[in-house]
Structure formats: structure tokens, C-alpha cells
Structure 1
Amino acid sequence: MAASNYSLKVNRDLLDPNFESYKLSLDPLPTYKVELDAAVEELKLKDDQYTLEHMRAFGMFNYLHLDYWYEDSILFVDCKGRVLSLSVTLDTAMGKPKEVYCVPAVVSRQHEDHLCASLSLTSATWAALSDGSGRLYLLRTGKRGDGAHTKWEPLFSEDIGDPFILLHSISHVQAGVHIMEVLLLRIQKDSEESKGSGYFVCLEWITVQNSAGPGQEKRYEVRKRRVLRGKSVPHYAAVEPQGKGLMLASEKPFVFTHVDGRPVVQPDPEPMEVDKAEPLYFWQQTEEGITISIRMPKGVSKEKVEFELSADKLRVGVAGFPSLLEGQLFAPVDPTACTWSMKNDSSLQVTLQKLSEGPVWPELVVGNRRGELLMSEEQAALLHERLTHLTSDDLSGTLDEDKPPCNSQELEDCDGFPEDSFSLAHFDGDSLKPTQVVNLGSHQYLFTVDVEPSEMPCLCLRHDVDALVWQPRPEQPRNMWEHIATFNALGYVQASKQDKKFSTCAPNFSYASLCECIRRTFIYRQPSPVETVLFNRKQGRQVGEVAKQQVASLDSDKPILGFRATNERLFILTSSTLFVVKVNNN
């Protein structure tokens, strides 16, 4: 992937440097549950699905789907192939989930390589469905939510290859033609790869459009198929609202490999500066000065040498050719006391006088790596003596008994970050090349959340101890990711939860929540004004706002399979029960 060319711009107005902590609240959270008629279709990983990527893609799959077009409406697929929908308006009278669609030929899906069924709500009236065996359905749902449970109508059904799960889908109209973009994921085996597990991650971006003419019945068909390949399951993957591009956040880079079955010709890598057999120049230094020997092309006369020197810059070259050595010197020199001369018609000898005697230069020209420093034994011994106080054979150190140094082995697990090159990239849909790449480094991915259905999903990243929510803006190339919300200290809090499985937040950012694998759910509310007068004991100042933490324990010992949040409620799904936790009263 290309070098990072963009950085995320934090909105300082959304940060709270005075945030202290979350205060545990014992206020009860009303919890309701609905017993399911049939178990959720849960995928059990097989012996050959042993890699970390299998676990990320299928073992941590969220089986519960939130309908962002209709408030407090959720959907899931059970083991009978039924798509079930539940809309909550009154918690005390929820009723049972109702069937809106049933995947045909459920028995045919139970072959060796089948995956769990997955659902993606494409628009307010359309949905995409994978049956887990490799067949894609595009369904016209009509109006959903608000008690409307009309049967969904399949207008496209096609077997498109190996089993897959759906990551994202959108619907848009272009030149009067209805188009749907679907992004799906597979984990496949590469028989020719001998390194590692041999598995790779395949993303396929499929465009389906209505090809019917005026007055004809609607007929949808695949217009374009684009395949990307990488080595890690992306944390975030979404198509732009108009299908003009794609965004991915992953620990390993992805590249387009095929379009409509034809291989994509990969461009030749950009030429890189390679190490020469010999350095371009050698240099030595003393406390007073620098001596440089620069290799010159054979046959170059003194008259053709171009030499320019100022107090802080040096340029050496040959007339009519690019400079051999050019840049800013590490420290200032005295130009009037410097000399140069040709030696043996193959090297240029330069003597520089340091303006400040004593300091050792670690490099001659800032950023230039084509030279070699020659150091005498006396100089090496002197340098070693100067640096001895910075090293120790004792991990804990004994420099200052009152203030022991940091020992990396004593850091907490939540202080560590992945070593992989975690990056966020935007791909252009026409050129299939990345246009913006952000090296996220230690900004750990936390979760994805849909805030506005007409926009791309937001992604939440850890910045220092906080959790920052970023809204993609593909229409703004100069500010493609906008910081729109902050959850104070949530980055550190969630990293300390060893049994954490899912995390999310309310679309209005009133609270964030995470759940463990079994039973417990944690809720972290934004700071709110307090009714009584409180003072900070240490600082003696009045506290105007308090952020609360609450814990909800489910009456279940079964693993949590789905976890979604709305502005008022948390929806938690196990294999046999749907729990609804009332968080806010709006």
C-alpha cells in the first residue's frame, strides 16, 4: 500500500482534559426478555477453521442486526432460515419476533463449508441476504418497523461462488437506474502459498442493477464484480453512498486483484533508493571539524565540480547532472574556514569547520543515508563512555532508588498496541487505487456504528485513553474523516476488559456500552449535570458534571451472540433469548 499521505484531525473542542473517572451507579436498569421459538443459527468453527482470521470473521460475528432506518427495530436469522423482525415501542408489551422472510431450501445449505446466514439492510425498503452457502438475495422489503411486518419479496437470487458473509450494502439511483452495491467477505486457501497458514482474506465488491426497460418487469443482474485480496480481516469496510469508492481499515493492506474475472495488472513498484555496493561518501569528525571524501565520476575535472556551502547547507555536484550530495547540515559550520580539493581524479576532499566545538554529529546531512562514518578506536571508546549512563544490564535499573525507571515488563496488557501496520484507506472505484491512506499506528479500532443511515458507518478509534468517533466524508477529500464525538477514557476502560466481546454506542452518543462473552454488560454514560453540590476532595473545586457507569447482568449462562444499541435501548441476543435493556427514557 502507498505510504501514508493523510492524518486524522482531532477536534480539540470535543476533548475533556479535566475528565476524572466514571462513577459506579447502582440505579437499576429495567431488563426485558423474549424467549425465541427456535435457536439462532450459530456457526461452530470447524477444525480447519483454526486461524485468527476465521475467529475474527466468524467466531466474533454479530448475529443481531439493527434497522437504522426505523428506531428500535432489530432483525436476526434463526436455525430454520427465517428472518425475524422485532420492533419495540412499549417494553412491557413487546410480543414475539415476526417472520418477514424465509430462506428457501434450508437443507441444501447444510453442506460442509456453509457459513452463518448474514443480513445487510441496504436502504429503507431494500435488504441483502446471504444464505451461508454462496447465494446472494436482494429483497424488496417495503416499509419496515412500526409494527409493519410485510413479507419481503426477492427480486434477485444468484449463486456467486464460495460461501461468504455480508459486510455492507447500499442502494442508489444513477441516471434513473436503481443500483445496489454489496460488499462480502470470504476466507480462502491458497494452495501455492507455503508461508504461514496459507489462508487469505478475499473481499468482493458486487454491483447489481435493474436492467429492465420501460414498462417491463424489474429484472436485476450483476453488472460488475471487483475482488480485493489481503491477509487480515478488515475491522471496517464500507462502500460510499453513491458507489464511487470503498473504505477499509485493516492491519494488513488490500489490493484489487480481479475485475469481472480478469486479473488486474499491478503497476510496477515505485523505484526505491537501494543501497550501493559502496557508500557515496565517507566522513570523519573531531571535536573541531569534519572531513568528507565524496566519490566522483571518473574523468571529472575540477572545473566541472559545483560546490556550494553556507552556514547550514551543503551542495556538491557535477555541471549538467543532478546533485551528488545536497541538504541541510546537522549543525552550523564556518563557511570561511572550509576548503575542498580534488584527489586522484575520483574523489572530492572537503574539510568543514564546526561553528560549535565539542558536540558529536550523528549524521552529516539531515536524512541522507548514503554516507559512512569512519570512527577511530579512540573516538568509539569516548562515545561509549559518554553513553554508558543510559544503559544497564538490569531490567529494573538502579539509577535512582527513589524514582525507579519504567520497566516494560510491568506494563498492563491494555497499555500495549498491535505491532502490525494498522491503516485506514480510501479506494477510488474507477482507478481501484488508494487515494487517501492514514497510518493509524497505535489508534486501536474499537467498534463501528451507524449514526445517520444516509451516511457511511462511523468508526471508533482509541486515541490515548479516549475513544473518538470518526464520520467518513468521501465528498470532502481534504477532510475525509471528521471527528464528531468523544467517549472519555473509554479506550483505556475497554482495553482492560479481558472478556470483552462486543462494543457499541448510541447513535446520539449519549452512552457507550460493551459486553462480555457471557452475561455482563457495561454502560458508560456521557457526563451530565448533578443536582447536588459536589466538590473534588483533592483539588477542592466544585464538580458540575458526573459520568456514570452501570452494570447489567443477564439472567442467562449462554454466550452472547448479538449486541446492538439504540438511543433508548440495548438489544442483546443469545441462542435462545433476546434481552432488551432500557437505558434512556426519551
Structure 2
Amino acid sequence: MKLVEDMPNPIFLDLKPNRLLLDSKFDGYKLSLDTLPIYITPFLNGVDRVGATDDQYSIQHAKLFGLYNCLHGDPFNSNVSYVVDRNWTVHRVAFSNEANTFEPLQEVWNIPTRTEQTMGRHNVNITFPSERYVVVSDGFSTFFIVETGDRSVNESTSWKIVHEQKEIQEHSIHKLGQFTLLDSKMYKSSTHEVFLDILLLRLQNKSDTDISEFLDKHDGEFLAMSANHPFVSKINWLTFKEDAGKWSSDCSRTLLGPSALDYACLEREGSAVLIASENHFAFYHVSNEPLRYTKKSKNVKGTEVEKPDYVWMQNNTEITILFKIPIGARKTDITVDVKPSSICLVYGGTPMLEGELLQNVKSDESVWTINPHSVIDEDNTEDSEPFVSGNLSTLQSQYQSLEIILQKASEVRWEGESVVKGVSSSSQGQQVLDPEAVANIQERLNHLCSDKWNDDPLRTNICDPQQLEDCDCLPADTTSFMRLDKNLQCISHVASLGGHQWLFSARVHGSSIPAMCIRHDVDGLLWQPPEVDNNLLDSWTLEHVGTFSAMGYVQASKQQRKFTACPPDLSYLAICDASKHVYIYRQPHEIGSDLRNRKTGQIISHVSKQHVVSLEPPLEILGAHATDDFLFVLTTQNVHAIRVKEVVDE
């Protein structure tokens, strides 16, 4: 987004891979015929899940519903997950390493708003802010802060609600409506007060009142980014405070962005939100303090400028002046008096333009008319964004244009921002480029460029685009990773992910902040955001912590993939199809003795294995959770535990 007055420039992060974590001699994955032990426990109550309705048709909805993971892994307890059935009962699913079997399924809690479900709700979600608390959302009206006790043991005690939140405070009281729980973090302040930060996502239509008001006030770049998106992503960042066992709302913040989320989480102590998305997000409301930055127009030099009252363009023979007027304005409301050396325009009894013209005109040949389709966009009148007739992506339909055409008395170019001399500050104009002039300039520059792949067929191509595979193509959209700071109320750090295909995210090395895996060349590289306080922002960066060799190619070949996961120790990566098949790719490990390639003579001391697992019966896969020892896979009727670690140790 455009920077505004006094807003600090974000720090741009350069993603530099650690060469020590790259394997230039990687020789592919070898298909293993070893049978992986699979343990199964039935889940016959039916898994609760919903799909998008006819009104939820955006790419944001497709990602949100299509990639929903019904198996909620507990990051504080290995081999423990939770599943919600159709009766909205939360079941604890645990596997015992000692007994090599699933523990009996345990019903730990019933979501109390089951009978209040509404059409179009989002899926139930569970997050784990600490070892003794969870946050549960019902997807349509309420989220709950729940005390669980010690989740590492299979106790008979049930979870207990300590706070129930049905509404949030913004400009006025709004019900949550359809929403998804993204993340939650519990932490202590320097004064030992306990806080809980919760991140919620709502997909809201741009026609909603509060969204349309925000878009009207926001800068033109945000409007342009959201032009192709009927819905915007609205993130509610809520902070709760504990006092004597009771929880109360301490602050609410709202962020807005025009595109779907690939990644969104809170920092460990609630100091920032980390987001990966096609477009930038921005703060647009904070409950207990005003926004620090107000959107204002700025020119390329960064100085504030006034919005023009009209724009005008010229060619050799005429001057065209464009005013924005409300829909419903009639010609009887307008008076235009053009004389050879002056002009007077009055609308509704109020002078809009009056004064001596820069040059003489042919008053008897000058005309004016009302165009019912607005061709003026006040957000496209900045110095950095010249107005041309083809740049109409952010038009505002509540306006129409008044067009005045003045015939020049002589073919002399008019110089200035206004068409009249000595214009008052109440009637500011701006000259923009005429489309014909732009076309003439482009035609004169055609000899410097070509619209062909190779303008000289006899010249050898360095790269033949016909040899590229689908997985080599860069993403059509440029994705950014950004850190939005709570205190700064703006983006503090940003990294461009353009050219790097998004693969997945996962918690690694016990971190509370998920790492994100993106494609670099053919490999999948894991980048870990740091867990630091605000005093170290200058050194805040993304660290390359792991590599899955050739994973860019591997994932591109899996057209039916639905879930991708890896354990905290990064020992393997699993790709789950929409049904039946699971593919497991191990990191290279040493073999008992060196092997020599008979053709090349190369000595091979490490081998990377691939396992293909077929789940029986072949049902739809609804969720996956990877631990160091097991890969847990949820289908419509069973929970499968695939033992991965045991084969490595053999």
C-alpha cells in the first residue's frame, strides 16, 4: 500500500537460503517397498464439516472450505489430536507409543451452540494457546475460551468454559456472523498480567456498509487491488485479559485486505500479526485509540496534495474538461457560459469553474454534455498515476461525468494545472494525458520492443519456453509476506514471495510460530519467523531452517493433493491426496555400506526413500497431522496412524 504521512517505511527482507542446508548432489527419491505399520481406530459418529454455499463463491471461500483440516493436532502433546463429530462433540484421539495402539476415544466437550447453527456458517475450529487452554469457534456466532486441564493424560474430566464471546466492538456492536478462528496466543506481560490474543477471519462482501465506507475513504491502490475480488478478507485481532480467573476484552483491532490468506498467525507475545497473501493488508480500526495514520493523497515526492475538482486533457485542436457530478443530476441544474477568453460553470446555483482561460477558444463551437458513465476516478489523479481512458478499474458507480469540450482558437499547447488563470483554492484542476497522445508515444517507441517471443528466428534461444513444464511456471500473482506491528499500526517488515510457489506451513523445532515452506528452484525451503520482542525489530528476519529437496517438482506432480505436512524434526514430508493415497518422502539417511554407481562410479552413502501408502477402505481424506513418530490421517470413518519413525530405526 502507499505510504502515508509519517508512516515508517517497512524493512524489506531478502530471502537468502543457507547453502549448508541445500543438497546440490541430491539424486531423487527411491521407491521403498518397506511396509509401514498402520494402526486404525474407527470414528463412526461422522466428522462435522460444511462446504461453501452458493453465496460463498470467491477464491477466498474456495481456499477456506476446500483446505479445511478436520484433524486438530495438539502442538503441546505429541500423538494427541481432536476431532469434532456431527453432534458437535469434541473427541480426544490419542496414540500410546508404549502399547502401540490407540487409546479409547474420549468425549471431552460438547459445543453448546449446536442448536443455533445457521446456513452458510464456517467450519468449527480449535486452536491451542497454551498447555491448559484452548479456543473453540462455532463458525457463525460465538467463540469460547476453554480451560482443559492437563491434556497429556486421558482424564475423565471435561473441558470448562471460562469465557464466551458472541459480539465484538468495532465502530458499533457487530455480531461475528460467519467467521473462522485462525490462531490464538497466551502470554504474560512484564507486570505478570495474563493476556490472550485471538485472530478471527471474516470474508465480507464489498457492498457491506462498513466495508464500502472504508473503500471510499481509502487510497486508489487498495481499490485497484480489490477490483477483481467481490469479497475482502477482514481480520479481527482481539485481546483478552485475565483478572481473578475472569476474562474480559482489553482491545480489538481490525485489519483488511482484498485477497485470500495463505498464512496468518500471531507472534508469541501478541506484538504483531504475520500474513502471507497476494496483496497487502492494513489496519483500519483500533478500539481504544485512534489510527495513527490517515490516508491522504501524496505525489511522487511524498508531499501532500489536494484532490482536484476536475481533470482536463488536450490535443492540437481541443480541450476536454471532466467534472464528477452525482447520479441524477440534470442538464437544467447546470449552466455553462463559454466566451472566447473566459468560462463560467454553475451547478445547482454554486459556481464550479469561473475565470479567464489560459488561451482563447472558439466559443460558438464549444459544447458540453452529461456522460451517465463516470470516467473520473479521484484516486487515479495522482502524479504517479496519470489518468487515461483505459485506466478505469476502480470506477465509482455513484457518479457520472460532466464533459465540456472547448475548441482551441489556435494550435497552441496550454501549460498549467488549471484551464483558467488565477484559480482559487476552491476550484483545483489537474491536467492528464490524452489517450491519443499516449497512443502516439507508444507508436513511436514500437521499434524498441516486440510482441513476439523471438523477433529474429535465426537467432538461437537461450531458453526454449516450449520445454518448460507446468511446475516450472511462476505463480500468476505476486505474493507477499508481511509483519503488521501492533504498536506501529502498519507493516514493519515485508518480503516478496513473487516467483516462489507457496507449498505449505508447519510448526518446526517446537516453535509456536509456524514456518512456511515455499519453492526455490526445485526445492521446498522452510522459512521460520523469529520469536523476539519489539526491541529487536531491526534484526527481525526470516531464517532458512530446513530443505525438502526437489519438493517443488514432487508436489507439482500430485494433482490430487489436498494436505501437505511435516513433523517438527523435519525428518519426512507427507502429501495426502483427496482420497486413499498418502505419499511419504524421507530426508536422506545413511545406509549400512557405501554403494557405487556402476555407470558413473559415484559413491552413494545416503539415500532418500519414498513410500506410497494406500488407505483401506479408500475413503475421502479429511485431515492430517504429522508428528516425529507418526502421520495421523483422518478419513470419513477412521483415524489412521502410520508409524514413520520405526522404519528409519531399523
TM-score grouping bracket, smaller chain normalisation: 0.7 to 0.9
Aligned counterpart, 1:442? 499
Aligned counterpart, 1:37? 44
Residue 570 of structure 1 pairs with residue 631 of structure 2 = yes
Residue 7 of structure 1 pairs with residue 10 of structure 2 = no
Whole-angstrom distance in 1 between the partners of 2:462 and 2:14: 32
Q: Using the TM superposition, give the Cα deviation of residue 171 of structure 1 relative to its aligned residue in structure 2, in angstroms.
A: 0.5
**1:50 aligns to what SS in structure 2?**
coil
Aligned pair partner of 1:182 in 192, 198, 201 = 198
Aligned counterpart, 1:219? 246
Query: Normalising by the residue count of structure 1, what TM-score does the alignment of the two structures yield?
Result: 0.75
Structure 1 contact 4–439 (Cα < 8 Å) conserved: no
- After TM superposition, the structure 1 = structure 2 runs for residues 76-95 of structure 1, keeping only pairs within 5 Å, are 76-90=83-97, 92-95=100-103
Residue 272 of structure 1 pairs with residue 300 of structure 2 = yes
- After TM superposition, the structure 1 = structure 2 runs for residues 326-345 of structure 1, keeping only pairs within 5 Å, are none
Whole-angstrom distance in 2 between the partners of 1:502 and 1:82: 24
Give 4+ residue runs of structure 1 displaced > 6 Å after superposition. Answer: 387-390
- Which amino acid in structure 1 is aligned with residue 204 of structure 2? Q
Aligned counterpart, 1:430? 487
Aligned pair partner of 1:412 in 444, 449, 469 = 469
- Which amino acid in structure 1 is aligned with residue 124 of structure 2? A
- After TM superposition, the structure 1 = structure 2 runs for residues 185-200 of structure 1, keeping only pairs within 5 Å, are 185-191=201-207, 195-200=227-232
**1:88 aligns to what SS in structure 2?**
strand
Aligned pair partner of 1:205 in 213, 224, 237 = 237
Whole-angstrom distance in 2 between the partners of 1:551 and 1:113: 37
**2:12 aligns to what SS in structure 1?**
coil
Aligned counterpart, 2:285? 258
Aligned counterpart, 1:133? 140
- After TM superposition, the structure 1 = structure 2 runs for residues 285-434 of structure 1, keeping only pairs within 5 Å, are 391-392=454-455, 399=459, 406-434=463-491
Could you give the per-residue CA deviations for residues 446-505 of structure 1, whole angstroms, max 9, x where no partner exists? Answer: 111112455312111111111111111152532421111111111221122111111011
Whole-angstrom distance in 2 between the partners of 1:65 and 1:158: 21
Aligned counterpart, 1:121? 128
- Which amino acid in structure 2 is aligned with residue 249 of structure 1? A
Residue 18 of structure 1 pairs with residue 31 of structure 2 = no
Aligned counterpart, 1:310? none
Structure 2's unaligned 5+ residue stretches are: 3-9, 168-175, 213-225, 303-312, 315-440
Could you give the per-residue CA deviations for residues 299-325 of structure 1, whole angstroms, max 9, x where no partner exists? Answer: xxxxxxxxxxxxxxxxxxxxxxxxxxx
Q: Using the TM superposition, give the Cα deviation of residue 155 of structure 1 relative to its aligned residue in structure 2, in angstroms.
A: 0.4
- Which amino acid in structure 2 is aligned with residue 540 of structure 1? G
Whole-angstrom distance in 2 between the partners of 1:232 and 1:539: 50
* CA shift in 2, pair 1:584/1:269, >3 Å: farther
- Which amino acid in structure 1 is aligned with residue 470 of structure 2? D
Structure 1 contact 230–254 (Cα < 8 Å) conserved: yes
Using the TM superposition, name which of 494-503 and 193-202 deviates more.
193-202
**1:56 aligns to what SS in structure 2?**
helix
Aligned counterpart, 2:351? none
Aligned pair partner of 2:105 in 97, 100, 122 = 97
What fraction of aligned residue pairs are identical, expressed as a percent? 33
Aligned pair partner of 1:168 in 177, 183, 190 = 183
Structure 1 contact 166–183 (Cα < 8 Å) conserved: yes
Q: Using the TM superposition, give the Cα deviation of residue 9 of structure 1 relative to its aligned residue in structure 2, in angstroms.
A: 2.5
Q: Using the TM superposition, give the Cα deviation of residue 260 of structure 1 relative to its aligned residue in structure 2, in angstroms.
A: 2.2
Q: Using the TM superposition, give the Cα deviation of residue 151 of structure 1 relative to its aligned residue in structure 2, in angstroms.
A: 1.3
- After TM superposition, the structure 1 = structure 2 runs for residues 25-64 of structure 1, keeping only pairs within 5 Å, are 25-64=32-71
Structure 1 contact 87–146 (Cα < 8 Å) conserved: no
Structure 1 contact 43–59 (Cα < 8 Å) conserved: no
Whole-angstrom distance in 2 between the partners of 1:242 and 1:85: 28
Aligned pair partner of 1:112 in 103, 114, 119 = 119
* CA shift in 2, pair 1:35/1:406, >3 Å: same
Aligned pair partner of 2:562 in 501, 520, 529 = 501
Structure 2 contact 131–150 (Cα < 8 Å) conserved: yes
Whole-angstrom distance in 1 between the partners of 2:297 and 2:243: 39
Structure 2 contact 563–576 (Cα < 8 Å) conserved: yes
Whole-angstrom distance in 2 between the partners of 1:388 and 1:481: 39
Aligned counterpart, 2:610? 549
Using the TM superposition, name which of 467-476 and 231-240 deviates more.
467-476
* CA shift in 2, pair 1:455/1:535, >3 Å: same
Whole-angstrom distance in 2 between the partners of 1:411 and 1:177: 56
* CA shift in 2, pair 1:467/1:389, >3 Å: closer
- Which amino acid in structure 2 is aligned with residue 188 of structure 1? Q
Whole-angstrom distance in 2 between the partners of 1:180 and 1:228: 18
Structure 1 contact 462–491 (Cα < 8 Å) conserved: yes
**2:63 aligns to what SS in structure 1?**
helix
* CA shift in 2, pair 1:134/1:465, >3 Å: same
